[in-house]
Structure 1
């Protein structure tokens, strides 16, 4: 299921409103934990399957949750 932000954020330097669409699935490529997102500027796609890295704090929290399950 894809989720899309209802409100974007203005990037004044570029004069665009940026919105993102994501399936919210965490992925691991062997080195990086990330979520794929489609990025739009003023409603037009500018990046497909952009890899947005998960922050270190979130990755550590996920690791702790997985460690509890084992």
Structure 2
């Protein structure tokens, strides 16, 4: 999971963890853990929801490059 990419996309879209939580249905505490690297391999459904909310492909937030 490329947390740097997710954080960059959130900043670009002026999106807080709270707003991402509301748009994905994922708790803000779980999103915080994902973004801080405490959850290294989130479920695929979680990744899909984050990608959809940020309007990017799954590959864009999973790949480390």
Question: What is the TM-score normalised by the length of structure 1?
Answer: 0.27
Give the strand-richer structure, 1 or 2.
Answer: 1
Give the number of the structure whose alpha-carbon radius of gyration is greater: 1
Relative contact order: is structure 1 or structure 2 higher (C-alpha 8 Å, sep ≥ 6)?
Answer: 2
